[in-house]
Amino acid sequence: GQQVMQIPQYQHVQEGEDFTTYCNSSTTLSNIQWYKQRPGGHPVFLIQLVKSGEVKKQKRLTFQFGEAKKNSSLHITATQTTDVGTYFCAGSSGNDYKLSFGAGTTVTVRA
């Protein structure tokens, strides 16, 4: 079955620095979604990417979908303490509407 992998599992960042988290799928995806989960909270939708090579920005967050639609990345610039949490990518493929989540990247920020 479809597997979605994320690296790194943990990201410890100095406030103000940039970082990137990566997502790779074992199969071609029809779309990929990114979610953020704060400690003790539930996943909150950030963005969906559908097109090959698509790039979308949300303020300091840049999301990219690979040309082969099998990988994605999330880049955060000038990290702030509000960026703390776990970032999940989730993909679906073909007519299978279920979302397969990665294990997430847990981000901590040093002030």
Residues that bind other proteins (CB under 8 A): 1, 6, 30-31, 33, 35, 41-45, 48, 88, 90, 92, 96-104
The distance of closest approach from Cβ of residue 108 to other proteins in the complex, given in angstroms and rounded to an integer, is 14
Nearest residue (CB) to other proteins, 95 versus 111: 95
Coil, helix or strand at residue 15: coil
Nearest residue (CB) to other proteins, 1 versus 111: 1
- Is residue 86 within 8 A of residue 106, CB to CB? The reply is yes
Which of 63, 55, 2 has its CA nearest to residue 28?
2
The distance of closest approach from Cβ of residue 77 to other proteins in the complex, given in angstroms and rounded to an integer, is 25
- Is residue 24 within 8 A of residue 89, CB to CB? The reply is no
Q: Exposed e or buried b for every residue in 26-42, given b needs 16+ CB within 10 A?
A: eeebebbbbbbeeeeee
The distance of closest approach from Cβ of residue 83 to other proteins in the complex, given in angstroms and rounded to an integer, is 19
Nearest residue (CB) to other proteins, 72 versus 100: 100
The distance of closest approach from Cβ of residue 52 to other proteins in the complex, given in angstroms and rounded to an integer, is 17
